[in-house]
Every structure is written in C-alpha cells, then in structure tokens.
Structure 1
C-alpha cells in the first residue's frame, strides 16, 4: 500500500483554504447584520448596503454548503 502524499497535501490545503474562506465570508455577513442593526437602533435609518452585504455573504455560504452536499450525495449526480 502506498500513499500519494502530494495528493493528500493538496486535498488538505484546499480543505483548509475553503474552510477559512467560508468562515471569513460568514463573519462578514454577521458584520453586515451588526452594522444594519446598529444603524437602525442608532438613528432609525436603514442602510441597504449593510443588509445587502449580509445577504450576499450568507447566500455564498449557503451555495458552498449546497455544493458540498451535492458532491457527497451520489443520488444528485
């Protein structure tokens, strides 16, 4: 039995990279929601940019999760 160490290293690097990217995008979504709520509580005006940022970030995270499920479940292929 032999292992292809370079392939294992590539899979590990991509997994870590995608994990960090999803966490950063999710954190940016939470930041957008926090800015939206803070602006609404502070002066009663709604800033659509923060809400749009949050929605896009959460949609990107949902797309990554959906793609992962698509790759794992053989029935979807």
Structure 2
C-alpha cells in the first residue's frame, strides 16, 4: 500500500485553512450583530442609529459566506448534486 503523503498534507492544510476562515467569518458576523445591539442601546441614549446599518451588513455578508461554504461542502459530498 502506497500513501501519497504530499496529497495528504495538502488536504490537511486546505481543510485547516478553510476551517479557520469559516470560524473567523462567523466570529465577524457575531461582532456585526453586537454592533447592531450597541447601536440600538446608543440610539436610545443619543437618538441616532447610524452604526446599526453597518453592523447588520457586516453580519449578513459574513453569515452568507459561511452558508456558501457549508452549501459547497454539501454539494461536494452528495453525489446526486453533480
């Protein structure tokens, strides 16, 4: 039995990199939601809510990126989608 160690290393490196990227994107999405909450609390105090739009946009884009990676992974795993 022969193992292609280079291919195994490439798969391990890519999967680790994608995992870290998805975790970072999800964390940035949660940060965007935290900005929305902070903007809502600040709007109650000051009467303005400008930071909420940026936070909801950030959260939406980050969660969309996470969903795209998950959907692509499911596409690769399920043979009926090919």
Q: So what's the TM-score if we normalise by structure 1?
A: 0.95
Q: Return the offset for 1:70.
A: 0.2
Structure whose alpha-carbon radius of gyration is higher: 2
SS of 1:3 mapped into structure 2: coil
Structure 1 segments (4+ residues) deviating >6 Å: none
Q: What residue is the counterpart of 1:2 in the other structure?
A: 2
2:41 maps to 41
How far 1:24 moved relative to its partner?
0.2
1:58 to 57, 63, 72: 63
Q: How many residues align?
A: 77
